[in-house]
Structure 1
Amino acid sequence: MHDDSEVPNIALKAKRGRPQCFDEQEVLHKAMLLFWQYGYEATSISDLTKALNLTAPSLYRSFGDKQQLFQRCLEYYLANEACVIDRIFSDAKTAKVAIELFLYENVKRLVQENKPTGCMLLVSTMNCSEQHSDLQEEIKQKRMTVKEKIYQRLLQGQQAGEISENASIQEITDFYTTVLQGMTFQARDGVGREQLNQVAAYAIKSWELF
């Protein structure tokens, strides 16, 4: 894959108003897989047009520039590939069960057949240059949103008497967030689901320490 971050002038000349001749969701799915596998900067416009079987004008006309397409792919990823954290946390009877279910559900999604490993929110902008710091910050905020939801679910558990009132909810949040992020990079390095499930199991055993 190679970098192609600049949008050529053809993007400005693309005709508007022509009907789409492709399935937008299918295109987003294929583009998402590229960004997820190779990262934002390493995925070029030419890589995208080849994989999506679209011309550059069609791509720009339908999705805007590369960054706009990437943002649409992130939305697609969160809607279709990421763990449904709100449902998991609301259905779980206790904070411990909520974290346990969330860890194991993440493992299922970190290692899947015919899909890139790891979490797209972590791996897709890891190696971005400074010129894309705004994009990195945007994804960081999405990760922080997940972390805040973990914090709030743990706090709810503490208020319900499930966690000692002397325990630091922030420290527990930091611990499980670090476990989740670490499992992503282990998955990228080829660690399989069985081993990651063992990591999740040990992380849950650590609950007693809190």
Structure 2
Amino acid sequence: MRTKDFNEQEVVKKAIAVFWKKGYHDTSMYDLIEGLGIGRSSIYHAFGDKHNLFARAVDLYQREATARLMDAFENSPSVKDAVAAFLQSVVDDVFSDACPKGCFKINTEVEMASHDDKIRKIVYDDDLIIEDSLFRAILRGQQSGEINPLKDAKALARFICSTIAGMRVYSKFREDREFFNDIAATALSVLD
């Protein structure tokens, strides 16, 4: 039996880029072969099918991005600064040429989550992790006096998460920095 001559993790990282650029439905097997640098039979042997490869790509993308976000929320000396940096990173992503428009996760939620139970569970579970991490950070900020203690920490976390999701959807077609800066500033102001 022939052994794999590629690293699955590296292939999944390449798959993120391919799926991010075109979305799940518009990504062909040819796109994957070209983008991953491996043959069709290797893709099927390692991942089963396009859908399983896509699920692995979404999961890896989320785990890495969420780990960075949680680290920022948990280790920043200022919760408000961490939230401000998160909001600013969304604005900066809109105007970056480093990645396709929109967030891979949000693009996936819009394209797939309403009709694909497996993908819906992957993104929903990650949404809950992010919301909970932000909720715990807001509670710490309330205890330290940095964030208004009279406001509902869970509602604040949900508002900020949904605002960021909306910003990422708008980033698919809007390129007005003032528009995004206004949204980020208003979202941050709810913590006062």
Bigger relative contact order (CA 8 A; separation at least 6): 2
Structure 1 counterpart of 2:166, one-letter code: G
Return 194-203 or 144-153, whichever deviates more.
Answer: 194-203
Question: Is it true that 1:158 corresponds to 2:142 in the alignment?
Answer: yes
Residue 180 of structure 1 corresponds to which residue in structure 2? Answer: 164
Partner of 1:10: none
In 1, the alpha carbon distance for the partners of 2:47 and 2:191 equals 45
- Name 1:57's counterpart in structure 2: 41
For 2:20, the equivalent position in structure 1 comes to 36
105, 121, 128: which one pairs with 1:144? 128
**Runs of 5+ unmatched residues, structure 2:** none
Report the residue type matching 1:35 in the other structure.
F
Q: Do the aligned partners of residues 159 and 101 (structure 1) sit closer, same or farther apart at CA in structure 2, a change above 3 Å counting?
A: same
Deviation of 1:19 after TM superposition, in Å, equals 3.0
Amino acid at match of 2:53: L
Alignment CA distance shift 1:27-1:186 (3 Å): same
Contact 2:79-2:141 within 8 A present in 1 as well: yes
Identical aligned pairs, as a percentage? Answer: 27
Residue range with higher mean Cα deviation, 47-56 or 87-96:
47-56
Question: Helix, strand or coil for the counterpart of 1:174?
Answer: helix
The residue identity in structure 1 corresponding to 2:14 is: K
Code of the residue aligned with 2:185 in structure 1: it is: A
Give distance in 2, aligned partners of 1:64 and 1:108.
36
- Between the aligned partners of 2:52 and 2:111, the Cα distance in structure 1 is 19
Cα distance change on mapping 1:19 and 1:192 into 2, 3 Å: farther
How far apart are residue 24 of structure 1 and its match?
4.1
Q: Deviations over 1:160-206 (max 9, x none)?
A: 33333321112211221122111101211142556534432332234
Larger radius of gyration: 1
TM-score w.r.t. the length of structure 1 is 0.76
More helix by share: 2
**1:141–1:111 Cα change, 3 Å:** farther
Count residues with an aligned counterpart: 192
Query: 1: distance between equivalents of 2:4 and 2:71?
Result: 35
Q: Does 1:115 align with 2:102?
A: no
Match of 2:77 among 85, 93, 106: 93
TM-score normalised to structure 2 length? 0.82
Q: 1:109 to 1:19 in 2, by over 3 A?
A: farther
Q: Which residue, out of 175, 180, 184, partners 1:191?
A: 175
Shift, 1:154, TM fit: 0.6
1:68 aligns with 2:52: yes
